[in-house]
Amino acid sequence: MRSIWASLAGAALATVAVPAGAQDDPRIARSIALRDQWQWLTRDIAFPATWDGDGRHFHYRKTVAGGFAFVDVDATTLAKRPAFDAAAIARALAAARRQAVDPLRLPFDGFAFEDGRGAIRFAIDYAPWRCTLTDPVCAPLDEPHRRPRGFDVVRDLTVPALNPPRPAPGGGREALVIDDNLVVRGIGGGAEAWRSHDGSPGDFYDPETIAWSPDGKWIALYRVRPGYRRIVTRVVSSPKDRVQPELVQQLYPKPGDAIDQERPVVFDAATGRQVTVDTALFPDPWQLGPIAWRRDGRSFAFDYMRRGFQHAAVVAVDAATGATHAAVREDAVTFIHNERRFAHDVGGAGAELIWASERDGWRHLYLIDAKTGRVKRQITRGNWVVRDIARIDDDRRRIWFSASGTVPGEDPYHKHWFRVDFDGRNLTRLTEGDATHEARFSPDGTRFVTVHSRTDVPEVAELRDADHGRLIATLERGDVRALTAAGYRPPERFVAKGRDGTTDIHGLVVRPRDYDPAKRYAVIENIYAGPHDSFVPKGYWPFGAFSGGDKAMGMQQIADLGFIVVMIDGMGTANRSKAFHDVAWRNLADSGFPDRIAWMRALAAKDRAVDLSRVGIYGGSAGGQSTLNALLFHPELYKAGVAFAGCFDNRMDKVDWNEQWLGWPVNPSYLAASGVVHADKLRGKLLLVVGEQDSNVDPASTMQVVDALIRADKDFELLVIPNGEHAAGRSTGPVAYGQRREYDFFLRTLGGAR
């Protein structure tokens, strides 16, 4: 066995060494250049539309020669014009940011009109900006922000809470928190009427949750016992403005940590009398949703998810007595998908709820009696999935939503749009054609803009009637002639049976532009298997409205090196049946590999150019974890992998994502998926890439894998990007260093076409 010092030396060299010839390899240079060559060759609409608040106009972004432009449409006449003077906005932004701005490549993807269309608001790198349109002046907006929370469950108590006085309905009084206690006083800082006296730093009233009842008789808010303040500390080894390194700290709760404990409190606004709220219905809360008063002011409700993600409810509270009841509840043997929960209080009256549930094995809509919690009616049903709920009309008792898997013979991930009555009648499909559709509805709900496409069919943007789906106008048609002339060919859609021999598994195949069916090609899989969604693009490539353009382009760039590149949605991902999704429960090591392997074997049986003796894999974040696990648990197929910013041990990663799929408390399933625990199983070739300043996945997760691999005497390569964030190594900046290293790695370890 080699010494630990020899292994350390090898790993350190791999961190900085550039493989011989990689910088000068014309194949790599040609592939990296492809993005700039193809990026603006399509003519398409980038996303459905943004409607003005009055519904008289909508606007969208579309590609034009050399970049993109924003188009404004009069919803009545359908007349089109530029949404604003892009050249003038570019000049104003350049002056404000002190850097050049190209009017055809403005640094924002969307915007909203303000001040009667006299200004626009948008975000640059998540920071809010505003530009006036007459004599344009642009400036960042210094807006008050809610106190930060680590992954939304632990408040950062080093930052003051947002605590403006909250005026009572009808005026006269206001509420705020002083010294951790609720205070009611005269409007504008007048005489204090009363304050609570039981608040403390360890059990405080949260001013950001104050909610007056509509009649001003009651005040409800959350009282909070703070969770554990776990801090991740990173070393900035190479600061841009100094020589010496510095430290960065981040509030970063991890699985099993104590989180903030919220509980609702009600006060009589006139006297300050506190009403005790019964907490029996919401033990061990993961998080309580915003307090929502019912229309009559006699009760309020909030969403509740129990920690562990197996029980959810809408809890209603009687303001006068503090008595509680479950307006609706949901229980699961495995998990409830937290990000897909949906509840709508019909008319704000607390009598009925529209509720999304997978209780029959598919995500559907239910009408709930909110007084008893019982199901009055299942509104939608069938072996298909409700996806987006766009609009609910309480007066007409109608719902507009998207769903996938509704059309036999179509890709089950394609979305179509529907309307249905609360009683489940008059289900009407509003979109047509074998494609996936995105939509945005007008404020009055009478019309919608839809953009539809398929991986091999360019976008079409349409304005349609929302009652029957009648086509009002075709707004844009994608034009890909220039892209096609440049050599682009759409990917192949391929379907094969999964591990059970019956379930269809869907994926895509990307081939080199100079593909020769007489040759044999190594296969590289682009993997992301996070249970929170599905990931194989469904819209037109490579820069379509909802295609995942970077993902698509990266696959073509790798394919052009002489590989067949595939992407697959295996079991354990979302947007299919509950049983399909449940494969991921406490089973993240699975990553759908039995389905992926079966799919690739079916592809090889059909196409002799597919060489399964040389299979590689790459992915970032959860895809990085899956990449490593492919080499640990399936070395019979996977021979080489590039893992970017992987959450290799789920105990080291963020609290919310991991507890959602692996459960709480921390249990043996965390160890079963750990690349640290199983590092000694490594076979094949591995390149680890990590950004030193990754704020999404603790970069120590990668270094712990490095440590375990060294202790197991395993050879590997490591690339650390100083100052790099979560996307480090995958970004395509001017240098594209990580991209070049990845491409060289696959050429060295797998070879290309033979």
Give the start-to-end residue ranges of the domains of the chain.
4-38+491-750, 50-140, 146-326, 342-454+457-478
Residue pair 662/652 in contact (Cβ under 8 Å)? The answer is: no
Predicted local distance difference test score (pLDDT) of residue 688: 98
Tokens of 111: 């915007």
Strand pairing category for 364-369 and 352-357: antiparallel
b vs e for 154-192, b when ≥16 Cβ sit within 10 Å of the residue's Cβ? bbebeeebeeebbebeeeebbbbbeebebbbbeeeeeee
Q: What is 146-326's CATH superfamily? A: Dipeptidylpeptidase IV, N-terminal domain (2.140.10.30)
Residue pair 351/314 in contact (Cβ under 8 Å)? The answer is: no
The CATH class that applies to domain 4-38+491-750 reads alpha beta
Residue-wise pLDDT tens digits, 360-382: 999 999 999 999 999 999 999 99
Spans of the chain, pLDDT less than 70: 1-23, 542-551, 731-735
CA dihedral 356, 362, 367, 368 (to 10 degrees): -70
Residue pair 350/601 in contact (Cβ under 8 Å)? The answer is: no
The single residue listed with the structure tokens 């409007």 is 187
Residue pair 409/360 in contact (Cβ under 8 Å)? The answer is: no
Predicted local distance difference test score (pLDDT) of residue 166: 98
Enter the CATH code of domain 342-454+457-478. Answer: 2.120.10.30
Please report, as a single letter, which amino acid is at residue 382.
G
Predicted local distance difference test score (pLDDT) of residue 10: 35
Alpha helices per DSSP H over 446-531: 481-485
Crossing angle of helices 26-38 and 737-750, in 10° steps, is 130
Predicted local distance difference test score (pLDDT) of residue 48: 82
Q: Tell me the whole-structure pTM to 2 decimals.
A: 0.94
